[in-house]
Structures are given as C-alpha cells and as structure tokens.
Amino acid sequence: MRITRRQALTLLATAAPTLRSAYAQQNQIAVTPGPFAGTAPSLQAYRFPAWFNDAKFGIWAHWGPQSSVEYGDWYARNMYIQGSGQYNYHVETYGHPSKFGYKDLVPQFKAARWDPDHLMDLYVKAGAKYFFSMGVHHDNYDMWNSKYQPRWNAVASGPKRDIVGAWAAAARKRGLRFGVSEHLSNSYDWLAPAHLSDTTGPLAGIPYDGSDSTFADLYHDYSGQPFDFAKTAQAMGRVAPDRWKLQYFRRIKDLIDQYQPDLLYTDGGIPFDEYGYSTLAEVYNVSAAKHNGKVESIYFSKQADNCAIGTCALDRERGVLDGISASPWQTDTCIGDWHYKRGVAYKSPKKVIDLLVDIVSKNGNLLLNFPLPNSGELDFAEREVLAGITAWMAVNSEGIYATRPWKIYGEGPSTKVVIAPNGKEFDPNEGKKPDLTATDIRFTTKGSTIYAFIQGWPEGAAVIPSLGTASAQNPPKITSASLLGHDQNLKFSQEPTTLNVTLPASRPPTANIGITLKITTA
C-alpha cells in the first residue's frame, strides 16, 4: 500500500513525541566510555580476570537497617504481611505498622561498635581474599553517600557514616579485592506490601505507613501505575516502570563510580534489559579506566544463560554445581540467616570447610556471609565459627588458593546424588547432608602437585582409589606424599587399585575438620 507525502508527514508528526521520548530516555543511560557498550552482544567479549580464579574465598557483611531489629531477613517486607512471624513480632515490639513502620526503624540502625579495620583483620586472618559490603538491599536504603537517594542513606540517617566507603578503605588497605552487592532491582515490588493494610482485626483497612506520600522516596511512588498490590506484587518480580528502572541505573552507577568495585553482585539475573546491560558495561569500563585498559572486575548473575558467553560470572545462592565447571563461578551462602537473627544456629567450621573444598574442587569460589547485629560487632558464636575457619586455613590453604580442578572433583559417598524422601536432592549448603567424612575426598591441582582433601581422619592410612595406577583417571606416577602442617614426607605405595599413604601417629588439631595430602607427581 502506497501513502501520500502528506500522510507520511502526518505519521512522522504523530510518532515524533514517542520517538523523542524513547531517545531521551536512552540518552539518559550514560555509561562511562570504555571497551563495552550496554548491549548483550558487546558484553559477550568480556573475559574473567585471572585473580578471581585464584582467590577462592571471600567474606560478606549482609548488613543494614533490617539488622537493627535482629529478627532475620526480609524484615522490611514481612513486617507488612499480616500473620507472618515478623509482622507479629513487630506489632508486639514496636506497634502496628500503620503507626510505626520501617522508616521508624532506620534511626535505630546505629552501628555503635562497628570497627571495619578490626573486622577486616579477622577476615584476612581467616583467609579471605575478597570482601563484600552490602550496597543496597530490597529495602531501598543505600549504604553509602548516595546522590540519588539523599534522605535514606547511611550518611544522612541511621549510623550517619559512609558504610561502603569505610569497608572499601579497610579491605583495600589490606590488599583484598572489594565488592558490593545490590538488591535494588527487586525493590519496587518487594516493598509493595507497605502500601497495604490489615484485612482482619480492629485495624482492618487502616493503611500501613507506606501509603503516606511523604515517604514515597523510601516506599516508592505507585501513583499512576496500574498495580494490584494484593494480587500481583511479587517479591522478586521486577515489575517496574521505566522511571524506576532509570533510577535503578543511576543509583548503581553512582555506587560504581564512587567506589570502583572489583566485584558487583546482583540479586537475580541481569535486570531491566538495557538498564542492566549498561550497569555491567559501567562496572567493566570503570575498571578498565582504573587499570590502564584492563578489566579487573567481575559481575555476578544467578541466571546461567546470562553468563553462557562472556558477560558475567554465575552465582549460585545457597547451592553448588554438580561437577567441574569450565568457567569460574561462585556460591554465596551464610553461616546463619542473611540478616542477623538472635538465637539462630550457625554453620559449624566443619560445614563451611566441607563446602569450601567441594566448591573449589569444581572450579568455584565461596562467598560467606557473617551477618552483623545492629552494633556492627560479631557475636561470640560467630567469632567461634570464624576462629575454626582460621585455624584450618592456616594449615591447609596452600591447597585452596591459585589451584585448579583435577580430572575429577572428588570421590566417596558424597559424590553420589542423595535424594530426599520428597524426591528432591539434598542441598549441602543448608545442612541437609551430613558432614563429610574420611571417606570423602576432593582434589585440586597446582602445577605437577595434586592436593587431596580428606574430610576426616582416616585410621592408619589414607586410601585413595582414584590415584591407583589402573584407575579410570590414569593418574601420573607419584613421587612423594606429605601432609600439610606436618614437616616430613610420608610413606606411600601407589598400587593398581589405590594410593595408600601412611599417616603420622599424632592427629593434627584441625583433623576433625579435614586434612590435606600434598602429592607430587613425575
């Protein structure tokens, strides 16, 4: 169908405002110049910096105003969900959320005994090679001197300190790589329950304080948006208008530009199409400018397809891979709840080390959260867990850092898939599997050396079938065997079906967690 010149001009005039608006919106996504553009094809050229595959272990402080309550994760959302445990606790402790809401908890976040230098010394001693600060959680509160969230940030309210900046200085002073986590992309729908009300009881129908437009900069402005709070607001749905997506990009760009993180973690997959891709380009381009054109930074996504070709590193929250990955990856988990909860049972040092050696044997890294209470000071039980990790790493970390996987990641009963009665595989991160034992072995390599992590103390001799001369792995000839932390070589015999290593008579102090054999090959 042909159209006249007049019809064409009319169509262009009609479309012009929409085109100008789209161009203006795109033009506001201003990425620092560098090797990457905010597009999926451009980011596929990204490659991992070598340091990340050598680092293996990081520590995270998942900490913010929700920690002031010391009653667990997602408090800022669940306190507005009638009948939830955190709602009931809030009503009993502070009052009804129509009268005392999350905004009123922010001033209680004091960080009165927070000493980032002291904590970082403990984390370095425990063997961490990188450290993560919370940047912003789903609660929409920025933990830095935020340009685009001027009222609800850690410098303007709460502790009135630049939390991210102080963490960054403490980490970098000690040679650690520094990362930040952002959970902001989910905030728009995550906080929607703050705009609801009780459905039963004496205050049914009385709006919670999130409905007060005075605090829309914290609880979000939903005016003009077709949003059914009661039915469609999903905690992690990322349902948001373009104006919010642009604010998301600007806030995280501000975080990147101010602190130039070596690592950026997002809670989910890459969000919001061009806004999310532009965030990746920003963190990589800022890194390239800082390192003479070399990109030294990492971005984490929880969606494997995001990271299939270049682009980013795969992160598995509270989960591990089934086998060796060709690309470096990361597990993030916590010793307890994500935000601090009084009385919660923590993972033991044994459980943490079992996780670490399993993850490293599969070409991964472990990022471990120690949730801080309101004070900013580790509690006694957390210090005990950290001390146990520190003691084991002091002896065995040679087999962790700068290593790569062997031909197989391990052997023993734990390498077999264990199915729970409900038909699902047990999750080893959350304590549903028993601790690894002396029959469970994990392998790493460094040059011609093989490290065998035996996750208990074998009586008499260590027996490793995978290193027998006739095993399916076709191992090289072994020339010596020693025990990390023990200064003498051990007697061994490499038989067709097994490698047998005679252990010292005295058991090392950390043998209840696990031991490491250092095996040299021809």
Domain boundaries, the chain: 31-317, 410-521
Average pLDDT along the chain: 92
Q: How many CB atoms lie under 10 A from the CB of residue 262? A: 26
C-alpha 469/C-alpha 286 separation (Å) is: 50
Closest CA to 378 of 151, 122, 69, 15: 122
474 φ/ψ sector (left φ>0, alpha ψ -120 to 50, else beta): left
- pLDDT at site 460: 84
- pLDDT at site 248: 98
Residue 97 confidence (pLDDT) above 50: yes
Question: Tell me: domain 31-317, CATH 3.20.20.80, correct?
Answer: yes
Express each pLDDT in 501-514 by its tens digit: 999 999 999 999 99
- pLDDT at site 228: 73
Residue 13 confidence (pLDDT) above 60: no
Beta-strand ranges (E) seen in 468-514 are: 478-483, 492-494, 499-502
Specify the pTM: 0.92
| Stretch among 1-5, 71-75, 375-379, 396-400 having the lowest mean pLDDT | 1-5
Express each pLDDT in 467-489 by its tens digit: 999 999 999 999 999 999 998 99
Express each pLDDT in 455-466 by its tens digit: 999 988 999 999
- Give 12-61 as a 3 state SS string: HHHHHHHHHHHHHHHHCCCCCCCCCCCCHHHHCCCCCCHHHHHHCEEEEE
C-alpha 142/C-alpha 150 separation (Å) is: 9
C-alpha 83/C-alpha 88 separation (Å) is: 6
C-alpha 221/C-alpha 214 separation (Å) is: 10
From residue 251, how far is each of 148, 150, 271, 468, 471 by CA, in Å? Answer: 6, 11, 14, 56, 55
C-alpha 246/C-alpha 236 separation (Å) is: 18
Residue 299 confidence (pLDDT) above 80: yes
Question: Tell me: domain 410-521, CATH 2.60.40.1180, correct?
Answer: yes
- pLDDT at site 497: 97
For the chain, percent of residues with pLDDT exceeding 70: 90
Express each pLDDT in 259-286 by its tens digit: 999 999 999 999 999 999 999 999 999 9
Name the strand (E) or helix (H) holding 449. strand 449-454
Express each pLDDT in 320-372 by its tens digit: 999 999 999 999 999 999 999 999 999 999 999 999 999 999 999 999 999 99
